[in-house]
Structure 1
Amino acid sequence: MPRARLFTLVVLVMFVVVHAIAIPVALINPGLFETSLAQEDGPLEYGTAIFLLVSALLLIWRGRQLQHLGRRFGAGLTWLYAALYAFVAGEEVSWGQRIFDWQSGSFFVEHNFQAETNLHNLVIGDTQLASTIFGNDLTPVLLAYLILLPILYPLAGWVRKFASALAVPVPSMLHAALAIVASVTMVVIGGVPRQFELYEFAFSLMSLMIFANPRNPDLYGEVSRRGTREESAMGQFNPAE
């Protein structure tokens, strides 16, 4: 079995096991879910931070592949994506503030509703960034990437060209299905305190799978092992062009 697929299988098993544990706990004992799995500095939060950081490292590697292919613009974009993932990983654990026990500056004490050094918990006027920008605004974009892009990718040439131009690692239908499962889970356990810690954890795992085994490996000079049905749908299109 190719290493990328073995890696995907391991992460997929982790996704299934964690959800199989978290969903019953959230439904049967929401308090236990809040104070154990989803607690501040708990397993879901630290797991999310670690897997986002590993995703950033995978993107750095992908950027090097693009650089070796002479696609400097694509490599630069990929390293920008890596920086964003590393940033979110740092934000997830407030840049190690609680781990290393250092104090926030006066600005964050005044404007951060947890008095921590991070941006996503800032309150600017009446706007809380965690729920507005990082929640309501960002979630539809991520779901479009995870669900709509896999559907449109084999159907529309302009979508493939756009993904190639921006060096986007394209999710597969497996990743789309996992995104739907994760979203439905949020509905099923709706109202449980800190339920979105599980959603963030799921996204970090999906990112790992996508970057390790994207639907468009040709972008990175790798040979696609996808089924003939998908290759037929895409025709002779080469995303590296």
Structure 2
Amino acid sequence: MKTLTRTDKIAYIFLILVFGFGIYFANTNLQFFDEVYTKEDGFAEYGTAVLLFLSSMLLFIRFFKLQSSKKILWKIGILGMGIIFLFGAGEEISWGQRIFEVESSEYFIENNAQGETNLHNMVVDGKKINKLIFSQLLTLILVIYLIITPFLYRKYDAIKNLADSFAVPIVKWHHTIAFLLSTGLLVFMGSNRKWELYELAFGVIFLLIFLNPLNSKIYSK
């Protein structure tokens, strides 16, 4: 496709391979899928953290390079997104707790489903925050951002101007298609560990969006 850059093609080939092997292992060797392919602190989890971190750094670099020529709303938007993705990267690896072998405080041991220092596994009144906020709310946001917003951006100047003012990158249709395909392929993997691959797809696709959005002019002086 002419709309795909070389980076897009490499990223999508990577995702095809990751999900292809994932479907194969999930249906032929579930133990390998759970304990090796998608294991805690495995390539999928660390890969997601790295991709989210790269997205945040890209946003911060653009902020520092362009902030002198941009308005306050643009600065708020790009800094806010950078902080969100940096937070996501930290949460993905529990802020390096397992890497540096840091013990959790008593509060997190008692109130975190995995006894780790992170927010997405916290339990409040017997309910995991991850299920309520990081799953249900995030799903709603992704549907609005990846499917509804692109239509509105193309149709209404008010939405277009608002998104551009806050430096919100608008997805191209191949980004949306990639996300929908990644979502659909999950049904072929009968393991809860499949969500590690979904998060990896999230990291890949959002980095592609930030690199080359439909409204790439928001990153020019």
TM-score by length of 1: 0.84
More moved, 125-134 vs 202-211: 125-134
Please give the alpha-carbon distance, in whole angstroms, between the structure 1 residues aligned to 2:91 and 2:169. Answer: 23
Please give the alpha-carbon distance, in whole angstroms, between the structure 1 residues aligned to 2:17 and 2:70. Answer: 41
Deviation track 1:164-210 (CA, whole Å, cap 9, x = no partner) reads 13210111001000011011112332x41311111111000001100
1:61 is aligned to 61
RMSD: 1.8
In 2 relative to 1, CA 150–26 (structure 1 residues): closer, same or farther, beyond 3 Å?
Answer: farther
Please give the alpha-carbon distance, in whole angstroms, between the structure 2 residues aligned to 1:40 and 1:196. Answer: 12
**1:196 pairs with 2:203:** no
Contact 1:66 1:72 in 2 (8 A): no
Please give the alpha-carbon distance, in whole angstroms, between the structure 1 residues aligned to 2:150 and 2:97. Answer: 38
Please give the alpha-carbon distance, in whole angstroms, between the structure 1 residues aligned to 2:182 and 2:38. Answer: 15
Q: 1:65 deviation in Å?
A: 4.6
Q: Kindly tell me the number of residue pairs found equivalent between the two proteins.
A: 218
1:233 is aligned to none
More moved, 93-102 vs 9-18: 9-18
Please give the secondary structure, in 2, of the residue aligned with 1:33.
Answer: helix
Please give the alpha-carbon distance, in whole angstroms, between the structure 2 residues aligned to 1:166 and 1:27. Answer: 44
Contact 1:67 1:75 in 2 (8 A): yes
Q: 1:23 deviation in Å?
A: 1.9
More moved, 49-58 vs 133-142: 133-142
Contact 1:77 1:166 in 2 (8 A): yes
Contact 2:75 2:166 in 1 (8 A): no
Contact 2:48 2:92 in 1 (8 A): yes
* Percentage identity across paired residues of the two chains: 35
Q: 1:151 deviation in Å?
A: 3.1
TM-score by length of 2: 0.91
1:85 is aligned to 85
Please give the alpha-carbon distance, in whole angstroms, between the structure 2 residues aligned to 1:143 and 1:62. Answer: 26
Contact 1:66 1:220 in 2 (8 A): yes
Structure 2 unaligned blocks of 5 or more: none
